[in-house]
A and B are shown apart, each in its own frame.
Chain A
Amino acid sequence: MVQTMIEAEGLTKRYGDTQALDGIDLAVPAGTILGVLGPNGAGKSTAVRILTTLAKPTTGWAKIAGHDVVSQAGEVRRRIGVTAQDATLDEALTGRQNLRMVAELAGLRRAAGAARATELLAQFELTDAADRAVRGYSGGMRRRLDLAASLVARPPVLFLDEPTTGLDPTSRARMWDVIRDLVGQGTTLLLTTQYLDEADALADRIVVIDHGRIIAGGTANELKAAVGGTRLEVTLTAAHDGAVAALTPLVAGRVDASADGRRLRAAVNAGVGVATAVIRALDGVGALVDDVAVHPPSLDDVFFALTGTPPATTPPATTAAASTAAAEEPGDPTGAGDTGASSGSSPGGPGAAGEDAAAPRQRTPVLAAGIPATSHADSPKGAF
């Protein structure tokens, strides 16, 4: 029987007038990754703080490896590693001193702590910087050191609160590799993220949190299936009054238009020649089409369908990288930053489109319909 390592029921947390958590249930089996997905302020960090004994629930209970986070906090702390959203390193200490300190506080003996620190520094490619003060570390180095600090005592349960927020694409990809390795070794992991591609790529199961509640849960594929249908995304050369009306007969449900009216998206019942029909219909009303994409729903679509709000924008670094890629693509209509610019290899790719709420999250080449959702899991590495 697989042990449930992270368990919670009816967790609520109230800060004054703010209901940060409004009834959360969780059950994470040993050796799996739960992705907790939600926008800023959804309650992700509050949930992590409660599960890691840093905050007490207002009501409800939670257990880590069978130990209550309130009444057996000490037992819980011996079994968890935490990488908080804000770095928790001591800036004045070197990387090595930080790891040795955490090792000894976690109960390792002095010599063992020193050896473990050396080992982790090598594993996280920080050996060269090991004896420099953390103050001078880059963002990626800090995150890696923070994660290393969480792993010092080889905790069976690990919490990573937005581990890649603010990282450049290379650091991000490296962090993903590290996370996959950890779970390969049997660690149970709870990972919060604002990035759909991250949850998609790493998590066995995903829960979507909004306003302190779980609004959906399941595997990435189940969530996508729940949204249903195939997604159509059209980019027009310029906004056109007749475009929505022209598309409506071809789609299932409503057509959502972006603020500038150039981007339209809707669910379609995928059939033979959908893209052709769309182009003909738009051509019929005189709308010029720059791009048509027909694809299975991405987690972005799931999130949009569940919350009615667009998912988070990806870190600036990723956007920049996408822009670079876009520049190499003369045909790119927007000239900047659609994620799909890093090519069809990442259909569920990062929502790099930036501010524009209804912007297509990726540009798949015309008629590239039917890329199976299952291919997503392997794609992000290729995207870098």
Chain B
Amino acid sequence: MAQLAPTLDAASGVPALSGAFARPFKDVVVLTRRNLIHIAREPLQLSDVLIQPVMFTLLFVYVLGSGISLAGGGSYKEFAIAGLVALNLTTSVMGTAVGLTTDLNTGTIDRFRALPIWRAAVLVSRSVSDILSAVLCATMVLLTGLVIGWRPHTSVPEFVAGFAIALLFSYALIWATACLGMVTEGPESAQGIGLVILFPLAIVSNAMVPTAGMPAFVRAIADWNPVSAVSAATRDLFGNPNPSAASHAWPMQHPVVAGVLWSIGILAVAAPLAVHLYRGRTTD
């Protein structure tokens, strides 16, 4: 029997604690694996990161894009792909709120809470499995782009940097959406409210349409929208046309810095807030 439980303290029968960081890391790994098993069991969950990106890309490029001409010339296709990465990453983070509220509404969360695990592990593991989905999502957009003729025109490091900025932003949004999940009752309301917030966020930006033709106040919003900064930064780093460079708004002049600052700022507020809200939600 003893060989079955080598980590048990023989005297007390109490599991021994390992290193201070080993435990939180292990908890996150175990719970992330659980989230991935959920996805494996219901692969249709992945439709919003596998099918939707392909669909959006084709719809925007061939339907919407056919009526848009870029101010500085260049093809809409070349312009659109970086924006589609940002747009798809923005709308797909809804999965975080839905996944978390689903967990909170089952007894499973009580099982986790009565175990000696790191308190934030449930949230962190959700953010890890969701960023893995986001990688898949962004990759699908780029693959679709490659198939229809989009190409990056810069070096590999610059391309990777563009991809990374988009994912950093996605990670920040995952935490922001986690906060939303903590304050909504169930998965349905999380999805409903998420759509109302995320869809305008993705659309009122330069992601799909150059901002030059927008009414002044909409354009001001779009120029300062983090989605615009991320789209513009990714375009620059991919070497694709970026008409927003003509805007005088600070984020459009420095899209890479703005994109990173926005992401770090959102993360710095949302991550502690999500943990705080989780604590409140799971304490009675």
How many B residues face the partner with a CB closer than 8 A? 36
Q: Chain A 136-177, CB within 8 Å of chain B: the 1/0 string?
A: 000000000000010001111000000000000000000000
Is there a chain A Cβ closer than 8 Å to B116's Cβ? Answer: yes
Nearest CB on B from A165, distance (A): 14
Nearest CB on B from A6, distance (A): 15
Kindly list the 8 A-B residue pairs having the minimum CB-CB distance in the complex, ordered from nearest.
A107-B15, A88-B111, A88-B107, A77-B116, A86-B107, A78-B116, A104-B30, A82-B114
Is there a chain A Cβ closer than 8 Å to B218's Cβ? Answer: no
| Chain A hits for B110, CB < 8 A | 54, 82, 84, 86, 88
| Chain A hits for B18, CB < 8 A | 107
| Chain A hits for B7, CB < 8 A | 107-109, 112
Q: Is the pair B115, A102 in contact by a Cβ cutoff of 8 Å?
A: yes
Q: Is the pair A107, B16 in contact by a Cβ cutoff of 8 Å?
A: yes
Is there a chain A Cβ closer than 8 Å to B72's Cβ? Answer: no
- Bound together, the chains give a CA A84 to CA B13 distance in angstroms of 22
Partner of B117, one of A15, A54, A105, A155: A105
A53-B113, A106-B116 known; A101 vs B34 contact (CB < 8 Å): yes
Is there a chain B Cβ closer than 8 Å to A79's Cβ? Answer: yes
Is there a chain A Cβ closer than 8 Å to B283's Cβ? Answer: yes
| Chain A hits for B42, CB < 8 A | 92
A78-B15, A108-B7, A154-B13 known; A54 vs B30 contact (CB < 8 Å): no
Q: Which residues of A contact B (CB under 8 A)?
A: 15, 49, 52-56, 74, 77-80, 82, 84, 86-93, 97, 101-102, 104-109, 112, 115-116, 119, 133, 149, 153-156
| Chain A hits for B111, CB < 8 A | 82, 84, 88-89, 102, 149
| Chain A hits for B5, CB < 8 A | 108, 112, 116, 154
Q: Chain B 271-284, CB within 8 Å of chain A: the 1/0 string?
A: 00000000000011
Nearest CB on A from B123, distance (A): 15
Q: Is the pair A77, B284 in contact by a Cβ cutoff of 8 Å?
A: no
In addition to A93-B38, A115-B4, 14 A-B residue pairs with Cβ atoms within 8 Å of each other are A56-B284, A77-B114, A78-B15, A84-B107, A90-B38, A104-B26, A105-B27, A105-B31, A105-B115, A106-B115, A107-B23, A108-B15, A109-B6, A112-B7
A55-B283, A93-B34 known; A107 vs B116 contact (CB < 8 Å): yes
- Bound together, the chains give a CA A90 to CA B112 distance in angstroms of 11
Nearest CB on A from B281, distance (A): 12
Q: Is the pair B37, A93 in contact by a Cβ cutoff of 8 Å?
A: yes
Nearest CB on A from B77, distance (A): 40
- Bound together, the chains give a CA A97 to CA B108 distance in angstroms of 13
| Chain B hits for A93, CB < 8 A | 34, 37-38, 41
| Chain B hits for A149, CB < 8 A | 111
Q: Is the pair A56, B283 in contact by a Cβ cutoff of 8 Å?
A: yes
Q: Is the pair B115, A77 in contact by a Cβ cutoff of 8 Å?
A: yes
Chain A residue at minimal CB-CB distance from B109 = A88
Nearest CB on A from B102, distance (A): 10
- Bound together, the chains give a CA A81 to CA B31 distance in angstroms of 19
Chain B residue at minimal CB-CB distance from A20 = B284
Q: List 15 A-B contacts (CB under 8 A).
A: A53-B114, A56-B284, A74-B116, A78-B15, A78-B17, A86-B107, A87-B107, A88-B110, A88-B111, A91-B106, A101-B30, A101-B31, A105-B115, A107-B18, A154-B5
- Bound together, the chains give a CA A188 to CA B42 distance in angstroms of 40
| Chain B hits for A102, CB < 8 A | 111, 115
| Chain A hits for B147, CB < 8 A | none
Is there a chain A Cβ closer than 8 Å to B8's Cβ? Answer: yes
A92-B37, A108-B5, A115-B4 known; A79 vs B112 contact (CB < 8 Å): no
- Bound together, the chains give a CA A93 to CA B38 distance in angstroms of 7
Chain A residue at minimal CB-CB distance from B40 = A92
| Chain B hits for A15, CB < 8 A | 284
Chain A residue at minimal CB-CB distance from B6 = A112
Q: Is the pair A107, B37 in contact by a Cβ cutoff of 8 Å?
A: no
Partner of B37, one of A84, A97, A154, A156: A97
- Bound together, the chains give a CA A107 to CA B42 distance in angstroms of 28
Is there a chain A Cβ closer than 8 Å to B14's Cβ? Answer: yes
Q: Is the pair B107, A106 in contact by a Cβ cutoff of 8 Å?
A: no
Q: Is the pair A89, B14 in contact by a Cβ cutoff of 8 Å?
A: no
Q: Is the pair B112, A92 in contact by a Cβ cutoff of 8 Å?
A: no
| Chain A hits for B8, CB < 8 A | 108, 153-154
| Chain B hits for A87, CB < 8 A | 107
Nearest CB on B from A130, distance (A): 15
- Bound together, the chains give a CA A156 to CA B16 distance in angstroms of 14
- Bound together, the chains give a CA A155 to CA B115 distance in angstroms of 11
Q: Is the pair A133, B41 in contact by a Cβ cutoff of 8 Å?
A: yes
| Chain B hits for A77, CB < 8 A | 114-116
Q: Chain B 18-41, CB within 8 Å of chain A: the 1/0 string?
A: 100001001100110110011001
Nearest CB on A from B272, distance (A): 20
Chain A residue at minimal CB-CB distance from B33 = A101
Nearest CB on A from B127, distance (A): 18
Nearest CB on B from A109, distance (A): 6
| Chain B hits for A79, CB < 8 A | 14
| Chain B hits for A133, CB < 8 A | 41
Nearest CB on B from A152, distance (A): 9
| Chain B hits for A86, CB < 8 A | 107, 110
Chain B residue at minimal CB-CB distance from A80 = B114
| Chain B hits for A109, CB < 8 A | 6-7
A82-B114, A92-B42 known; A107 vs B17 contact (CB < 8 Å): yes
A56-B283, A105-B30, A106-B116 known; A78 vs B37 contact (CB < 8 Å): no
- Bound together, the chains give a CA A317 to CA B5 distance in angstroms of 38
| Chain A hits for B112, CB < 8 A | 105
- Bound together, the chains give a CA A90 to CA B31 distance in angstroms of 11
| Chain B hits for A55, CB < 8 A | 283-284
Nearest CB on B from A51, distance (A): 10
| Chain B hits for A84, CB < 8 A | 107, 110-111
Q: Is the pair B13, A54 in contact by a Cβ cutoff of 8 Å?
A: no
- Bound together, the chains give a CA A119 to CA B2 distance in angstroms of 13
| Chain B hits for A52, CB < 8 A | 114
| Chain A hits for B37, CB < 8 A | 92-93, 97
